[in-house]
Structure formats: structure tokens, C-alpha cells
Structure 1
Amino acid sequence: MNLQPLKIPSGWTVEWNLLTETDPTEETIHEFTGSLLLVNSSTRLKAIDVCWQPEAAINGAYQLQVILLLPKFNSITNTMEYEGIWEAPELEFTTQNRQELVEKLNDLLFTLKPYIDTRILLKPGVVDEPNESLRQDLLANGLTKEVIANIMASNHKKLQELILDHKDISKEIVEELLQRGAGKGVKNKAKQLLSSKAFKRG
């Protein structure tokens, strides 16, 4: 059995590769079990997984998933680990044709854009739990009075900038951030927003 040749650019790491040039037949289908290929990129924060589903079923198909990776610092080993968001793939592709799979793989390996980790961090791979919780509240509930009050009390620059970027931002909130914002950056952004056409009309 020969491994399937792939065009893998720098920046990708092959965790394992059991993808061969063998096509599924009644004689070979027993080989099509488990994950056949897993590659990941710590710079793109993405992984590509290929398996055959249902396993060892002649009427199955190759299933490709692009998985987002979240950096997680391990303080015991002093290394960065990466946790896949397997429950929410960024992309899924299914085919019974090996050449179609190879073409898709080779394209994705070169064209996938990096995932931007939007979590609030204390340092790379270490989540700022209280402030990240506030960010999640903002995403889930919008600009409620409670969310705004908590973010104002946090005095956290990034959270306050997220308020200013919110589609439901009001002039009153912008004026409050102009006066009480967490630093010059937030206050300057609030000042610019108040000078914009949207708020001048208001």
C-alpha cells in the first residue's frame, strides 16, 4: 500500500496519515476505519481530519472536516496545547471519489485562512475567565443594562471597544464611554463615533 501523495506546505504538521492510494472495494474496505488523516497548523489554528463513514462500509464516503483550534497553555509542561472545537466544524466535505478528496485537501492546505481567537486572554493560551464570561454575555444577550453595567465596572478596554462596535450601540452609551472609558483608546473611539454621521443625525 502506498500513501496518497499530498501537497503539504510549510506550517502544517501531519499527526498521522493512513490515507493510501487504495480505493474501497469488498477486499479493501476493512482498511477504511478510524481517522485516516489528521493535519494541523498552529499558525492557522486549524486542523483537517479525514475519515471514512460509516466505518468499513462499502457504501460509505470520505468525510473531511476543518476544525478550529483554541490554544491552551499547559502550566505543568510549560507548553502550548491546542483544543479542537469538534462539535462545530468550520467546513465539511463528503465524497466517495479519492481524487476529489485529494484535490479538496490540496486546495485547503494552501487557501485556508487563519482563525482569529477572539477570546479575552491573560496571556497566549490562558483565558481571562471573568472578562471572557462578560464577552460571552454580550454575545448572547446583547446590550442589556446589566451587560453594559458589568462591562463598565470591569474597566476592560477590549470589552468596552466591543460595546462601541456593537450594532445596537446608542448615543447615550457612547457618551458614557467618552467620559468613563478605560483609557484614551476607548475615549478616542467614542469621540470619533459621536462625530460620525449616524450620531450627528441623532
Structure 2
Amino acid sequence: MRKNSKVTQREHTSEHVTESVADLLAHEAPLDYKNSSLNVGGVPGKKIVLEPPENDGRPAWNSKLQYILAQVGFSVGLGNVWRFPYLCQKNGGGAYLVPYFILLILIGVPLFFLELAVGQKIRRGSIGVWNYVCPLLGGIGVSSLMVCGFVGLYYNVIIGWSIFYFFQSFQYPLPWAECPIRRNGSLASEWMPNLNIGTEEKC
């Protein structure tokens, strides 16, 4: 009798639970899955997985103009202004520009945009970028940093010369209008005027 009573009690309990679940499903509005935001492209079973936005605190540029000006400042250096006319004159004048622009378009511009893309994607320094790509290539970042340091040493000298001669150029007559050896009062100043090579006087 006790067993039968327990079985009867379980049946009543299961019927009560089944009825309550059925009532909840009956009152719930049917879900139109095809038109819902959970369906991607009308493909059933494919759901959108929402991920929290990244907030890793990495530095970023404040504006696009600031980014462009920074890249121009890093790309155009003293070599473009100071050495380019010298190299152009040394290697044939205008003919030097033809291979220069060809190599600039085929090699220089793609590598430039590749460097920009890698820096924008990884957002690390020169050492951190190569360590991110491959830890074995971390020495490339260190060597590039050393090259920048060595370039900065002699660039400061060139900038000092440029500033010095810029202010000296406001004088009249110009300090370099006359050969310095003639103003030294040495013995060489006595015979230098008589030293002519062709029709041009050499200092």
C-alpha cells in the first residue's frame, strides 16, 4: 500500500509540473526566428555571438590630420632635402629621377603602407612589433632603434649647421662671399691672387 501511494503521488506531481510548463508555453508568444536578429543572412542555426568591445587602453591618434602630419614628419627627413640634390647631380641629373621614381612606386610605397598597416594593427613600438610577429625577430627592432640613435647623432650636427648659416645669411656682405684664406693675413694671402686655374680663381 505504501508503494502504491508513493507511485500515485509521483504521478500527480509529474502531471502538475507538465501542466504548468504547458501553460507557460501557451501564454508565450511564438518566436519568428527567421526575422529575428539572431538569424544571420536567413541561415537557420547561425547565431550572432556578441563580444564585449575591446578596451585595452592602447594609445591612438587624436585625429586623422595628426596621424598624417606625424607620418610626413617621420618620412621626410634631412636626407630628402639635403642629400637628394647631391645624389641627383652625381648620378646623371634628370636621368636619375627615372629609376628613382620607378623604385619608389614598386618598392618604397608598398613597404611604406605595409609598415603603416602593421603599426596600426599591432600598435606597438619597433621592438614590440617584431616580438609580436616572431620572438626570434626581436633583434630587428633593436637594430633599427640603434640605427635611429646613430642617425640622430649626426643629424643634430647638420641641423646646427643649417641654423648657424641661416642667421649668418642675414649679413651683408655674406661671410662666405670672400675666400677665408685671404682674410687670415698669412703668407698664403700674398700669392693666392696670382693662382689662377683657367679663368676661374680658386681658393
TM-score by length of 1: 0.25
Q: Which has the higher contact order (CA 8 A, sep 6+)?
A: 1
Higher normalized helix content (fraction of residues): 2
- The structure in which a higher percent of residues are strand is 1
TM-score, normalisation: structure 2: 0.25
Larger radius of gyration: 2
